Structure 1
Amino acid sequence: SWIVLVPTGIIMMWGAELGGGAFVRFCKNIHGLATIIFAVSVLPMLIAWTKRMLPTIYDIRWMLIVGGYLSKVKRPVPAGKFNAGQKAWYWVAIPGGIVMILTGAAMFFLDFKTPDVATWLGVPQIEVLRASALIHNVLGIVCAVFFLVHIYMAAIAIHGAIWSMVTGYKEEEEVYVLHHYWYQELISKNKIPVSEYEKTYAKLK
């Protein structure tokens, strides 16, 4: 859904500069359809991931070393099942996405042919529309930036990352290095045996 939402949203933001017309209206329509797909997926993601996405102390250590991506030395980094970058993307995409859904719905459904539902909030309807447009566009730009970084990391920066999304499996060494605390958690729960990588890499302190 995001692959559709991001470019169509950008086209809609600059629709007037692009000349408007049938193409921009088409983008608006498929943007709405992609929003429905995203909205349906939000609740399962909230249930499945929120607990794992809560910030931890070692997330600060991860950010200080930028996840180890800039280092030429391959060593385990302080990260659980999700690293600090993934957590940041989650909190932008999911709670931020819910706000995007609500503000987008306000812009899509509120018009001056229907009763002024904004009076329920004690503010003029035009002010609700203005606030919705501002919040939606600002959040949209932030989401677009995070989304592009996410695509880069998945498709280019980390070997095999995109296939782990498709298949649900990661290479053992990748988990050991990039999600080391989760790897240790799996060992402590006897879900995997102690790895040979324990002899290969220095222990993470």
Structure 2
Amino acid sequence: MKHQRYHNLLKAIEEERKNEEAYYRELSKSATPKDKIESGILWYPVDIVKQRYTIGEFVEIEVERTKHLDKSHKLKTGVGCTVFKQLDERQEYKGTISFVKRNKIGIILHSDVLEKGQLSEKGLTGIELVYDERPYKVMKDAIHALINTKERHHMVLRDGISNQDNFAYSTRNYNTDYIAGNVNPSQQTAIKGVMNTG
């Protein structure tokens, strides 16, 4: 099959996606809050320390965890999560983590009907990671675009990596005397190669 290397990558991405989806499905069905805190996918309880409007008038909140500060976690920028409040009925809002800084995180909420200040009403608040297919979709789309590209430079790069070719360089003879003295020989060779590549 043509571009086998990239098709293998697509299969690996799909396998990882399925495993992650199954992991979160199993956790949501069977795990207790304590289990979720231990596995690093739940912060509970948290305090909402800031709320502001962001792009598209979505609400961004900044939360700080107040317990289990010694526990490691899997929260990271760009990951999908649920913000929930434990009231008479559990309220949930989907969001994306916008930053992580020690025991504080920012979350852009996906609800355009939520107003700033609405989440500060009574009830304990928690943050839980959820399965998010978007990163896998982005990776797959990028690989499909590379497989199907008609751009000559992209095709050369794609096929060269796929075939593990030695790329041909044409020399332009740029002056490389100004390369910093604290750059090691391997880095100097790499910089010169990039600067002199046609």
Question: Normalization by structure 1: what TM-score?
Answer: 0.29
The structure whose residues are more often helix, as a share, is 1
Which structure has more RCO (C-alpha within 8 Å, separation ≥ 6)?
1
Question: Normalization by structure 2: what TM-score?
Answer: 0.29
